[in-house]
Amino acid sequence: MGLQTGVIVVLCLMGFTCADPVKFKDCGSESAKVVMVDINPCPVQPCQLKKGDSYGVNVTFTSDVQSQTSTAVVHGVIAGVPVPFPIPNEDGCKSGIQCPIQQQQTYHYVNSLPVKSEYPAIRLVVEWELRDDNKKDLFCIRFPVQIVS
């Protein structure tokens, strides 16, 4: 059993969703190594996000730095233009991470991605950053989604 398979099995046993991890691209993670991204529910990729629903986002990462705080910044990238995508809680320390963040520790950042009813039905890329004390990206990931009615 490979390391990634072992991590997935352990997460399943811990009660995390056991769906296939979401395919993502790193967009400039400076201070962490992203291990896995999971969106629930997301039975097919790109994830189809239904208007009016909310989706769980779980990012497992290992930090390379210490940080007292962490702040999430989320954008929907449409035709190369980043548009702010509000989330209920921008404070990573209230989103599954026990702060202060320690070097070489693995964390499970958990938040929700609400899809407002007034959003257009469109394909886009979600860019999710988690920033440290110095406003540098602990991680920056991008994953494609499709907003549907």
Please report the domains of the chain, with CATH numbers, ordered by start residue: 20-148 (2.60.40.770)
With 90 as the cut, is the pLDDT of residue 27 above it?
yes
Quick one: average pLDDT of 6-25?
58
| Distance between CA atoms of residues 107 and 33, nearest Å | 10
Summary mean pLDDT of the chain: 88
| 101 three-state secondary structure | strand
HSE, CB side, 13 Å, CA atoms: give it for residue 126.
Answer: 27
Q: How deeply is 2 buried, as exposed, middle or buried, from its count of CB atoms within 10 A (0-12, 13-18, 19+)?
A: exposed
Predicted local confidence at residue 18, as pLDDT: 54
With 80 as the cut, is the pLDDT of residue 65 above it?
yes
Quick one: average pLDDT of 3-7?
40
Residue pLDDT, tens place only, 76-93: 999 999 999 989 999 999
- In the numeric block, which tokens belong to residue 147? 């907003």
Whether omega for the bond prior to residue 41 falls within 30 degrees of 0, making it cis, is: yes
Quick one: average pLDDT of 110-114?
95
Quick one: average pLDDT of 122-143?
96
| Distance between CA atoms of residues 139 and 96, nearest Å | 15
- In the numeric block, which tokens belong to residue 125? 């890329």
Helix segments in 23-126, DSSP class H: none
Residue whose C-alpha is closest to residue 16's, from 108, 116, 137? 108
Q: CA angle, 111 as apex, 110 and 114 as ends, to 5°?
A: 155
Q: Residue 72: what residue type?
A: A
